[in-house]
């Protein structure tokens, strides 16, 4: 046997992404539990990570017994057991299918908690959540019962029937890519109307559109399957490839992509540019001062989504009564901006304020600004 070829690379692609995703999800869960904010989207990611533990083990075993990464001529004669390979492939597929769906559902729920006022965005989010839930069940059950009886999948001489492999694989990957793209576009749609500097808006979009990396791998895997199914027989596939390692990379990246704000928080511990943690210094106005409220532009969902907008300032003279202004990390107490009105004035709801320069105003100065009605 001349060498291991690409098998070490396959092993690396199996192990390293898993370590990365496990670390990021663990940090996310630790932060949420510490803040008593562990909710359904976090539970979904934990479920996906548990499946990734199983997938990492089964893909590793599959790569070893199938000699994935070896040149065909370097594989010892009689070393490959087709029944074992098909059995482990069946197990891998059954575990893999729910992972990306769970990660996307978790991410979509997080976006829902940003409380966009755009009805089309809300409708799109709920539609994608329903589609992904249905896809998780359909793809998983479709794989489990691809052959009947089930063991015909790896014991092909068993009487029974199996589905069309090409149609099933292309269908699953096609739906995965389509939903990946749609899920990646929605954050940009949400942020488009936010009053933020272009610099910060671009930064937030980058972290919230990480699912596009998963889409790129999905497209490449689709290309590989097109090549495989264009061969005279599936068994003619050259084992000298990293296709099985990419399966694990895609699944782990899907979970990592759902933790974009957590990644930003981790980077903020080492790179000040990414640190947007609000100051905890209290502000206590004196009896003669104006109450000056500065909004750092954070939009939060369980302390995990942080969108920073510079230059948004609101000044309230003492003659103005501020009904409430509440900011909290818990989703139930997420940032509330209540309406401030002078006595005898009409209450008019506004959603976006664009202020000019911010200066200390004299007691009788007027509050200048542009109010845009949503």
What does the pLDDT read at residue 280?
A: 53
Tens of pLDDT, residue by residue over 65-123, are 999 889 888 888 888 899 999 999 999 999 998 999 999 999 999 989 888 888 999 99
**Tens digits of residue pLDDT in 283-300:** 444 444 444 444 434 444
Poorest-pLDDT segment among 170-174, 194-198, 338-342: 338-342
Q: What percent of the chain has pLDDT over 90?
A: 40
Most confident of the following: 187-196, 259-268, 272-281, 350-359: 259-268
pLDDT confidence tier of residue 274, bands split at 50, 70 and 90: low
- Residue-range domain boundaries for the chain: 7-274, 281-374
Does pLDDT of 2 surpass 80? no
pLDDT reading at 304 higher than 70: no
Average pLDDT of the residues of the chain: 76
Beta bridge partner(s), residue 208: none
Cα–Cα distances in Å, from 148 out to 88, 143, 234, 269?
17, 11, 21, 53
- Rounded to the nearest 5 degrees, what angle is found at the Cα of 187, between the Cα atoms of 38 and 169? 85
Instruction: Give domain 7-274's CATH architecture.
Output: Up-down Bundle (1.20)
CB atoms within 10 A of CB 189: 15
**What is the spatial distance between Cα 216 and Cα 219, in angstroms, rounded to a whole number?**
5
**Mean pLDDT for the stretch of residues 346-373:** 39
- Report percent pLDDT > 70 for the chain: 69
How many other β-carbons are positioned within 10 Å of the β-carbon of residue 6? 20
Residues 146 and 135: their CA atoms lie apart, in Å, by 15
């Amino acid at each position: 046997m001349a060498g291991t070829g690409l098998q070490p690379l396959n092993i690396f692609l199996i192990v390293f992404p898993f370590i990365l995703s496990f670390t990021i999800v663990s940090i996310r869960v630790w932060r949420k539990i510490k803040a008593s904010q562990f909710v359904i989207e976090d539970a979904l990611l934990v479920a996906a990570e548990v499946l990734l533990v199983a997938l990492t083990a089964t893909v590793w075993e599959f790569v070893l017994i199938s000699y994935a990464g070896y040149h065909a001529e370097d594989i010892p004669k009689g070393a490959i057991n087709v029944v074992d390979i098909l059995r482990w492939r069946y197990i891998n597929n059954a575990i893999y299918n729910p992972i990306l769906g769970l990660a996307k559902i978790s991410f979509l729920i997080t976006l829902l908690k940003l409380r966009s006022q755009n009805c089309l965005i809300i409708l799109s989010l709920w539609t994608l959540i329903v589609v992904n839930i249905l896809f998780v069940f359909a793809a998983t059950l479709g794989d489990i019962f691809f052959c009947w009886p089930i063991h015909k999948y790896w014991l092909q001489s068993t009487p029974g029937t199996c589905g069309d492999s090409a149609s099933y694989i292309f269908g699953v990957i096609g739906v995965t890519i389509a939903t990946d793209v749609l899920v990646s576009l929605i954050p940009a749609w949400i942020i488009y109307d936010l009053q933020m500097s272009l610099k910060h808006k671009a930064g937030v979009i980058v972290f919230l559109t990480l699912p596009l990396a998963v889409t790129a791998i999905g497209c490449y895997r689709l290309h590989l399957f097109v090549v495989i199914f264009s061969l005279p027989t599936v068994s003619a596939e050259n084992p000298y490839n990293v296709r099985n390692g990419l399966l694990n990379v895609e699944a782990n990246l899907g979970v990592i992509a759902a933790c974009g704000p957590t990644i930003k928080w981790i980077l903020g511990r080492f790179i000040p540019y990414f640190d947007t943690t609000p100051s905890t210094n209290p502000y206590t106005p004196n009896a003669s001062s104006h109450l000056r409220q500065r909004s750092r532009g954070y939009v939060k969902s369980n302390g995990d989504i942080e969108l920073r907008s510079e230059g948004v300032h609101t000044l309230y003279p003492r003659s103005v009564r501020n009904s409430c202004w509440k900011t909290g990390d818990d989703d139930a107490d997420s940032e509330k901006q209540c309406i401030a009105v002078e006595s005898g004035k009409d209450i008019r709801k506004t959603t976006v304020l664009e202020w000019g320069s911010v200066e200390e105003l004299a007691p009788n100065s007027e509050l200048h600004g542009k109010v845009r009605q949503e």
